[in-house]
Amino acid sequence: NAGVMQNPRHLVRRRGQEARLRCSPMKGHSHVYWYRQLPEEGLKFMVYLQKENIIDESGMPKERFSAEFPKEGPSILRIQQVVRGDSAAYFCASSTRQGGYTFGSGTRLTVV
Partner 1 sequence: AQSVTQLDSHVSVSEGTPVLLRCNYSSSYSPSLFWYVQHPNKGLQLLLKYTSAATLVKGINGFEAEFKKSETSFHLTKPSAHMSDAAEYFCVVSDDRGSQGNLIFGKGTKLSVKP
Using CB under 8 A as the binding rule, whether residue 81 contacts partner 1 is answered as no
Burial of 57 (0-12, 13-18, 19+ CB in 10 A): middle
Is the link from the previous residue into 25 a cis peptide, with omega within 30 of 0? Answer: no
Please report whether residue 7 would count as binding partner 1 according to CB under 8 A.
Answer: no
Pick from 25, 33, 79, 86: which binds partner 1 (CB under 8 A)? 33
CB 82 within 8 A of CB 90: no
Does the protein bind partner 1 through residue 108 (CB under 8 A)?
yes
Nearest to 44 by CA among 32, 26, 60: 60
Distance of alpha carbon 83 from alpha carbon 6, whole angstroms = 22
**Dist. CA 80–CA 12, nearest whole Å:** 14
Closer by beta carbon to partner 1, 13 or else 31: 31
* Residue of 23, 35, 82, 86 that binds partner 1 (CB under 8 A): 35
Among the listed residues 48, 65, 69, 90, the single contact to partner 1 using CB under 8 A: 48
Binding mask 86-105 for partner 1 (x = CB under 8 A): -----x-x-x-x-x-xxxxx
Report the alpha-carbon distance of residue 9 to residue 11 in Å, rounded.
Answer: 7
Minimum CB separation of residue 55 from partner 1 in Å reads: 7
Pick 19 or 91: Cβ nearer partner 1: 91
